[in-house]
Amino acid sequence: MPDPFRWRDEIARRIAPLGLSPAREAEIADELAQHLEDRLVELRSTGLSADDARRAVLAELADDETLAAAIAVGESAAVEVPPPGDDRRGSAWTTLRRDIRYGVRTLRKNPAFSTVAVLTLALGIGANAVIFSAVNTVLLKPLPYRESDRIATFWLSAPQMGLPEVSLPDALFAYYHEHTRTFESLAAYTGAGFTLTQAGEPERLLGANVTIDFFRVFGVKPLHGRTFLPQEETPGNNLVAILSYGLWQRRFRGDTSVIGRALSLNEIATTVVGIMPPGFEFPKGIELWIPLGLNRQSVNSWYLTPIGRLRPGATVESARREAIALDDEFVGRHPEWFPHRDSTRTQAGAMLLRDRLVGDVRRPLLVLFGAVAAVLLIACANIANLLLARASARGREMALRCCLGASPRRIAAQLITESLLLALTGALVGLALAVWGMGALRRFAADQIPLLGQSRIDGRVLAFTIAIALLAGVLFGLAPAVRGARVRLQDALKEGGRGGASAASRRLNNAFVVAQFSLSLVLLVGAGLLLRSFQRLLAVDPGFRAENVVAARLSLPGRRYPSDTLVRGFYERLLPQLRVLPGVRAVGLAQRLPFTGGNPQNTFVVEGREPRSGEPQTVANVRQVTPGYFAAIGTPVLRGRVFAETDVVGAPPVAVVDETLARRYWPNADPIGKRIKRGGAPNAEWMTVVGVVPNVKHRSLTETPDLWLYEPFGQVTNWGNYLVVRAGGDPANLISAIRSEVAAIDPTIPLFDVQTMEQLIDRSLATRRLTNALLAGFALTALLLAAIGIYGVMSVSVGSRIREFGVRLALGAQGRDVVRLVVGEGMLLVAIGTILGLVGALSLKHVLSGLLFGVGVLDPVTLAVVPLILAAAAVTACYLPARRATRADPMAALRAE
């Protein structure tokens, strides 16, 4: 009857440390296993039970090292020890292979240790791979355009008017286009919405009006058809369109016959002339391009964003200087257009397109990258500690190898090989995690982090992962390897029985724990500060109440609504219909809503405070709103009144201003009744201020208060508007009713960008939310790893001193004294780590600058709470080994001594 016990494996395990060739090892294992099986049958036949027989056979096998050592003597020729200085490649290769084989076996022999180590590393390396892939795509990889490092953009600015960035009017852009020397090709674009009415529901498409050179700047050729022709630049000839690959596939199923066909865009027949290749999508989300129809005589609208391809050798700085110089020239040639410009010198900025796109996310990404690297370092320290503990336990194995002639260098090389094997296995598992993690990151963050959607595991991410794995392997393998190589036979045999850790190795363990806690503290403080900032941010009053408000966009085609009267007529029918829908509390209309991007601004003049010649003009955010708007969005009236249904054309012009504007111009007077008018146009009418409302945040909760000027929709009419509807409950329930009311009046008008105000604010916080969540996650992982680290170190320390505790208990110490002793030792390490960490946390001031809001780096709450969290985690981690110390048997201790 075959014995279920795996004798062959048992033998193989015991002789594994000899590093014999696999064939020889198998031969020995076979032969000995046969013998043992025969012996077992023999013992069973004498009447022994299966268990007793097996025990007897095992006893005959003697202990591990005896068998291995005895065989080693017999096999001495097989245990090669390379002579010192032997550097023949073949021999080095053989040695490496043997080390790897032996390493694999050693790791397999300790599945619990290997699993913990590999998983810890996989988490650390995987997280690094994910964040690096984001850094790689967003910050390092060139944009997917030909020689993309030459594509740049610039803008003008007028800080004295409160305008950090100014777009260009047609005439100025045309002047730049004609005179530029730094750009090889220069184009301009502006976003535009198009309603496609073509069999079925009208669809709103995001498009861009572009100048003719637009595609040349990117160096992109159409997939089908052609790009725009020079004559298509002039207004009237520009009724042609180029489609994105996505739109072509989605709407026209990839049918090439669409080229030459006329589409109804905003009710204008527009001929498709080309289709762009897949992947070309600039600006982001754009589905079609239409020639701009440049009006070379217009400086009225400042709305064009320039983009160009720099000449070889030209820099963004030369582009910036040229932008200023050409602007000065242009203003000098057209004094009639710029009566106020003589002393207000324009400034300019320029950037490579990549930097411009990446803008705000560079710092959060780098912060996360730093955090994730710190997590990996902490994980490495844990594994180094585990390996150090194991090195002590493997003292006798090392002694045996030493005995057989292995040099310290060989032993160190063997141990490093084991570490690298661990690290590479960790990297492999980590990469699998990274694939999953990147998918998750893309799903959650592709909207907030530009370019992230294109992140993939490419060669660079792979190389990075392998590099950090090797680095980590060396990092956590070095200390144990040096310690392992230093083992001396006598010491190992003396101490071997106790499996204790030497003082030197304990000091090293302690140093790792201190480092882990100081790094964790820095991460936790960083995460804490960001969370506190976020808390402050959520407490900011945006100037309106977002809950229960839904917003949607409408745009009336100029073809069918050519006059203000017709536009007003449409809304005068629509708004009352909406107001009486069940569940609706208030309905309003505004040209732009907070947090929807874009920010129409205009210069204005306050009566009695007209700027003298040469004095800069002031700019306010200008909105045209209906009477119901303030109630619908939830902006209260501070003084006076908001607009009334009677504020229409023909009635006296009126305006509402915000408190910031009122305070600046009439600090000590009642603003009601004061007069204000738009700047620029000489024939603008004076409007009487009838009300004051609170300041409203438009782009972000962190912005400094702008000046606001509201005009009544009844007097200043717009074609494209946002509907704002306040509901009694969940506003999402109203959307279909709103849609059908719009369709009842005009079925060709799509309702688009339907969102609740809460979603809009949320989106403005999304990048922060993501950064916070990731950083908090990394910080907690760091804390967990540090706690595991101190737990491991205290366990080893308690294990090696168990007799000491026994003696203490025998001499009358109480259990709680021992607990206090152990926990106290752990807490000393934590205290040192905390102090070092606090010093490190001061550096966060620079790292987190621009990410904090309303809190400083020395935020007392964060600095008080974080060390407490660390201490609590550490006490818990130390308590478990301390409990074990109290269970030391005093009698056993005394007997041993």
Partner 1 sequence: MLDRELKKGSTELMILSLLEHEPRHGYELSKLITSMSHGVMRLHVASLYPLLYRIEKRGWIEGRWVEKAGQRRRRYYRLTPAGKKVLATQRRSWRDFVEAINRITGIQHA
Residues near partner 1 (CB under 8 A) are 27-28, 31-32, 34-36, 38-39, 60-62, 66-67, 70-71, 73-77
Question: Cis bond leading into 283, ω under 30°?
Answer: yes
Nearer to partner 1, 67 or 156 (CB): 67
In the complex, least distance from residue 39 CB atom to partner 1, rounded to whole angstroms: 7
Residues making up the chain, counted from first to last: 897
In the complex, least distance from residue 33 CB atom to partner 1, rounded to whole angstroms: 10
Nearer to partner 1, 75 or 889 (CB): 75
610-645 burial code (b ≥16 CB/10 A, e <16): eeeeeebbbbbbbbbbbbbbbbbbbbeeebbebbee
Token pair listed for 61? 């096998």
In the complex, least distance from residue 109 CB atom to partner 1, rounded to whole angstroms: 20
Nearer to partner 1, 34 or 843 (CB): 34
350 has which bridge partners?
Answer: 154
Is the CB of residue 416 less than 8 Å from the CB of residue 160?
A: no
86-100 burial code (b ≥16 CB/10 A, e <16): eeeeeeeeebeebbe
Nearer to partner 1, 74 or 682 (CB): 74
* Spatial separation of the C-alpha atoms in residues 783 and 371, rounded to whole Å: 12
* Spatial separation of the C-alpha atoms in residues 314 and 181, rounded to whole Å: 9
DSSP track, 714-756: TTS--SEEEEEEEESS-GGGGHHHHHHHHHHH-TT---EEEEE
* Spatial separation of the C-alpha atoms in residues 725 and 9, rounded to whole Å: 75
Nearer to partner 1, 70 or 744 (CB): 70
Nearer to partner 1, 39 or 101 (CB): 39
Q: Tell me which H or E stretch contains 232.
A: none
Nearer to partner 1, 66 or 563 (CB): 66
Nearer to partner 1, 20 or 549 (CB): 20
Nearer to partner 1, 18 or 122 (CB): 18
In the complex, least distance from residue 74 CB atom to partner 1, rounded to whole angstroms: 4
In the complex, least distance from residue 108 CB atom to partner 1, rounded to whole angstroms: 24
In the complex, least distance from residue 881 CB atom to partner 1, rounded to whole angstroms: 37
In the complex, least distance from residue 403 CB atom to partner 1, rounded to whole angstroms: 15
In the complex, least distance from residue 75 CB atom to partner 1, rounded to whole angstroms: 6
In 3D space, the residue among 751, 701, 384 whose CA is nearest the CA of residue 542 turns out to be 701
* Spatial separation of the C-alpha atoms in residues 823 and 815, rounded to whole Å: 12
Q: Residues with Cβ < 8 Å from 435, sequence gap 6 or more?
A: 457
Q: Tell me which H or E stretch contains 301.
A: none
In the complex, least distance from residue 98 CB atom to partner 1, rounded to whole angstroms: 19
In the complex, least distance from residue 789 CB atom to partner 1, rounded to whole angstroms: 40
In the complex, least distance from residue 44 CB atom to partner 1, rounded to whole angstroms: 15
In the complex, least distance from residue 66 CB atom to partner 1, rounded to whole angstroms: 6
154 has which bridge partners?
Answer: 350
In the complex, least distance from residue 399 CB atom to partner 1, rounded to whole angstroms: 19
DSSP track, 30-68: HHHHHHHHHHHHHHHHTT--HHHHHHHHHHHT--HHHHH
Nearer to partner 1, 18 or 822 (CB): 18
In the complex, least distance from residue 57 CB atom to partner 1, rounded to whole angstroms: 8
What's the half-sphere exposure (Cβ side, CA atoms, 13 Å) at 703? 17
* Spatial separation of the C-alpha atoms in residues 15 and 21, rounded to whole Å: 11
Residue 560, classed as helix, strand or coil, is: coil
Nearer to partner 1, 66 or 876 (CB): 66
In the complex, least distance from residue 24 CB atom to partner 1, rounded to whole angstroms: 10
Is the CB of residue 224 less than 8 Å from the CB of residue 244?
A: no
In the chain, what is the straight-line distance between the N-terminal and C-terminal CA atoms, in Å?
48
Nearer to partner 1, 46 or 613 (CB): 46
Nearer to partner 1, 404 or 427 (CB): 404
Nearer to partner 1, 35 or 641 (CB): 35
* DSSP-derived pairing of the beta strands 288-291 and 203-210: parallel
Q: Residues with Cβ < 8 Å from 529, sequence gap 6 or more?
A: 844, 848, 852, 855, 857, 859, 862
Handedness of CA 364, 365, 366, 370 (dihedral sign): positive
Is the CB of residue 678 less than 8 Å from the CB of residue 602?
A: yes
In the complex, least distance from residue 49 CB atom to partner 1, rounded to whole angstroms: 20
Nearer to partner 1, 72 or 687 (CB): 72
In the complex, least distance from residue 73 CB atom to partner 1, rounded to whole angstroms: 6
Is the CB of residue 843 less than 8 Å from the CB of residue 757?
A: no
Nearer to partner 1, 66 or 315 (CB): 66
* Spatial separation of the C-alpha atoms in residues 94 and 97, rounded to whole Å: 5
Residue 281 CA to its chain's centroid (Å): 22
In the complex, least distance from residue 90 CB atom to partner 1, rounded to whole angstroms: 24
Nearer to partner 1, 39 or 663 (CB): 39
DSSP track, 823-877: HHHHHHHHHHHHHHHHHHHTTHHHHTTTT--S--TT-HHHHHHHHHHHHHHHHHH
The residue written with tokens 């403005």 in the block is 764
Judging by beta carbons within 10 Å of its beta carbon (0-12, 13-18, 19+), is residue 11 exposed, middle or buried?
Answer: buried
What does the DSSP 8-state code read for residue 149?
G
What's the half-sphere exposure (Cβ side, CA atoms, 13 Å) at 307? 25
Nearer to partner 1, 38 or 165 (CB): 38
